[in-house]
Structure 1
Amino acid sequence: MSLTIGEISYTNILPFFYYLNRDQLKKDDVRFVPQVPSQLNQAMAKGLVDIGGISSFAYAKNDHAFTLLPNLSVTTYGKVQSIFMFSKYRIDQLDGKRVALTSSSETSIHLLKIIIEYFYQKDVSYEIVEPHFERMLNEFDACLLIGDDAIIANRQKQNGLYVYDLGEIWYKETGLPMTFAVFAVRNECIKQQPSKVLKIYEALVESKKRSELHHYQPMIKDILLTHGGIKDFWESYFEQLCNDFGKQEQKGLLYYFELLFKLGYLHKPIDHLHVWNPVMQY
């Protein structure tokens, strides 16, 4: 029986995939599907993808069906440098304004809602649109972009715009890390194919460790060819990301879920994370 791995099509997920032996995994009947977070979230929910890095918010909507893999996440303790709100107004002046939200995200969309509605207590209207920087700001007062779209927009932005890093605001307000993406596996896959899930998990962890050991240098060299930018930016970008998912990262994620429930964006409280313990499988 084959397993499908969903691979987020953003650079921040690369450390977990860069050193994978894809040929060997394919021989083990594992296939890869690259998608943006919103597509991958839907595919996991529909059972079309078995294992993947999904938006943290997507896990909250399907926590009954998913188990989280330990030691793997896209987390920041402060600036994330790839999730920005670009605004014509200061954030404390957004009352009554219109904000465009990227269609590529769920976690970041809801993080921005926490920031605007809970931390700053402003009343704005939102609209989800395709991520296109110029069109968004032509039609709206502010816009949210994530991933490579946000990195490019920040590199090319015009003068006079206010730029807010959502990870930086979250950390300033809470003192907790913000986990934007988690690695999840469908529960039935663990029940039916625990050994194959373990092999994939170990490969992801090994790729993460090798990426960190080499300070992301081979990966950055490839990114410069495909995405441009400057080496110093990408070094700073990856070094400030946290790839782990331990107690502190889980604490921050649970507080994010707590605030979403308080604001009415989750229909039930999430007070426990289902994290896999591979040792317990054998």
Structure 2
Amino acid sequence: MSPTTMKKKIRLSIVSYLNSKPFLYGLFRHNLDQEVDLSLDIPADCAKKLLNNQADLGLVPVAILPQLAHYELISDYCIGASSPVKTVCIYSQCPIEEIETLYLDYQSRSSVALAQILVKKHWKLSPKIAQASSGYIQNLGGKTAGVVIGDRCMGLEKDFAYVYDLAEVWMQYSGLPFVFAAWVANKTLAPSFVQKFNAALAEGLNQRQQLLALLPPQKQFSLEEYYYKNIDYQLDEAKRKGLEKFLQEGVELGLL
């Protein structure tokens, strides 16, 4: 494919959660928001836009990669984790082996596939799988648990007896870190734009302390720890191996 012309704004979809704020901060500091048509979306909608060619580039759930006719990972940055991530968890009032129904977060693509892989292959369980809708968290209880992702997780652990961090469990299962979302284009973009884009992402990550000073504090949640410890933004070789294993197992189980 030939590079897209820069005369037309690149349509960019970014996850709207706090974990993407460093990237957004860098894009605005580099004035790249003037060169793109930017939309902030929940992960599932980021995925739909890239799949339906309503976006050219996105910070999208990696679970959609097998569905794309053509894709390019244009950056060495991602939303990943090499330790507990804190914002992708199964919340339950009973131990995992006693769960009878597991709700899957409607905002998610990668995390719900990850949860099902771990339920089947790590815990070797077979609860009823249910698709959640808005407001489902308040209905969790008894032997009904749920996968919850994103900012809604912040402080949620106090309401549940059992919390299973899926990045941590994936590490126990596979020995590899996990990639939740990556910068994916569904067409070839101009190299000059890609270079400028990655420079903006790098600056955003380098300016996390300045960003933290601008963001309101979160109750019962350390954003500084989240940005520097829980989220691992480097798409390094270990994460690429983790991504490959996730995609392979997801396809084998018919989840992707």
TM-score in terms of structure 2 length: 0.88
Partner of 1:234: 223
Q: Distance in 2 between matches of 1:124 and 1:135?
A: 20
* Among candidates 204, 212, 223, match of residue 220 of structure 1: 212
**Secondary structure of residue in 2 paired with 1:59:** helix
Partner of 1:256: 246
TM-score in terms of structure 1 length: 0.81
Q: 1:24 to 1:162 in 2, by over 3 A?
A: closer
**What is the CA RMSD across the aligned residues, in angstroms?**
2.1
The reply on whether 1:176 has 2:173 as its aligned counterpart is: no
* Among candidates 17, 30, 40, match of residue 24 of structure 2: 17
* Among candidates 71, 77, 82, match of residue 77 of structure 1: 82
Q: CA deviation at 1:259?
A: 1.4
Q: CA deviation at 1:217?
A: 2.3
5+ long unaligned stretches in structure 1: 267-282
5+ long unaligned stretches in structure 2: 1-7
Q: 1:72 to 1:89 in 2, by over 3 A?
A: same
Q: Distance in 2 between matches of 1:20 and 1:101?
A: 32
Q: 1:164 to 1:41 in 2, by over 3 A?
A: same
Q: Distance in 1 between matches of 2:163 and 2:142?
A: 17
Q: CA deviation at 1:175?
A: 1.2
Q: CA deviation at 1:230?
A: 5.1
**Residue deviations 1:109-146, cap 9 Å, x none?**
01100111111111111122224354331597101100
Partner of 2:202: 205
Q: Across the two proteins, how many residue pairs are aligned to each other? A: 248
Q: Distance in 2 between matches of 1:89 and 1:140?
A: 6
Residues 1-282 of structure 1 aligned to structure 2 (within 5 Å): 1-21=8-28, 24-27=31-34, 29-62=35-68, 64-94=69-99, 97-132=100-135, 134-137=137-140, 141-154=144-157, 156-158=158-160, 161-187=161-187, 189-190=188-189, 193-208=190-205, 210-211=206-207, 216-225=208-217, 228-229=218-219, 233-240=222-229, 241-266=231-256
Task: Give the conservation status (yes or no) of the 8 Å contact 1:133–1:153.
Answer: no
**Secondary structure of residue in 1 paired with 2:173:** helix
Q: Distance in 1 between matches of 2:89 and 2:135?
A: 13
Which residue type is aligned with residue 228 of structure 2?
E
Q: CA deviation at 1:261?
A: 2.3
Q: Distance in 2 between matches of 1:223 and 1:130?
A: 29
